[in-house]
Amino acid sequence: MKREYWIIIIVYIVMQFSSLIGLPVLMLGFKSLGISQNLAIPIWLIASFSLALLIILFLLRKEIKEDSFNKRDHTFGYSVMWAFLGVFLALFAQYVAAIIETLLGIKMGSENTQHILRIIDLFPLAIIVTSIIGPILEEIVFRKIIFGVLHKRFNFFISALISSVIFALAHQEPVHILLYSAMGFTFAFLYVKTGRIAVPIFAHVTMNTMVVLVQTVYKDDIDRLRREAEAVQNFIGGFL
């Protein structure tokens, strides 16, 4: 693996755990200034993710300049087509995985998603992290680097499986490992299909944006449907 790739992975890990130190310090500073400490979380989120993205893009500047993301035997139009198809493919994969999880008795809904929505309700600008910066970082780390390096040694299935499981565990919701892995497989497929990391990035950004907007606008309706689904699941479970 390239030296730059190792540094990128380290930067990503440091970013993920930076809140353990940075957040308490920021909250203390906000308290002394009379600013609501609740704002510390979204502001630290935006600052840490933005800084990590800038560092990673700087480390990849040569590859970006050389257009190394591109696969020369595919046209730009071909990639654009798969970028848009990829959005629906990712949503479909997520839908199928959710159905399977429900059949396995796993409750609907993601605590991670609900936490993100609460942050956005508190500080709407945080949506740039959950819908844009976050997906870009994840595609660079989990698809371009981890999957890309593995795919040089193993076949698609093994490479996608390992990188997708790591991607799923990174979301700290092991109960939904199937859901996240399904998306990981989809984005890995898009990367291999087009050879352009921009394609899964576009699909991931668009999907996250759609999910956040839908769950924000139709929050009450979704909560009602979730309660009804859980009631049906509990009813069926009583006969099994």
Distance CA(159)–CA(156), nearest Å, equals 5
Provide the pLDDT for residue 221: 52
Using CA atoms, how far residue 235 sits from 19, 26, 225, 230, in Å, is 41, 47, 15, 8
Provide the pLDDT for residue 41: 87
Burial class (CB in 10 A: 0-12, 13-18, 19+), 230: middle
Residue 36 sits at φ, ψ, to 5 deg, of: -55, 125
Provide the pLDDT for residue 70: 45
Provide the pLDDT for residue 69: 44
Provide the pLDDT for residue 226: 54
Provide the pLDDT for residue 144: 94
Rounded to 10 deg, the angle between the 3-17 and 40-59 helix axes is 180
Distance CA(205)–CA(114), nearest Å, equals 18
Provide the pLDDT for residue 218: 57
Provide the pLDDT for residue 219: 58
Flag residues of the chain having pLDDT under 50.
68-70, 222, 232-233, 235-240
Q: Is 171 a catalytic residue?
A: yes
Distance CA(134)–CA(45), nearest Å, equals 10
Distance CA(125)–CA(217), nearest Å, equals 16
| Residue tagged active-site, from 101, 138, 151, 176 | 138
Provide the pLDDT for residue 232: 46
Provide the pLDDT for residue 240: 47
Provide the pLDDT for residue 210: 86
| Residue tagged active-site, from 4, 63, 74, 171 | 171
Provide the pLDDT for residue 239: 41
- pTM, to two decimals: 0.83
Burial class (CB in 10 A: 0-12, 13-18, 19+), 217: exposed
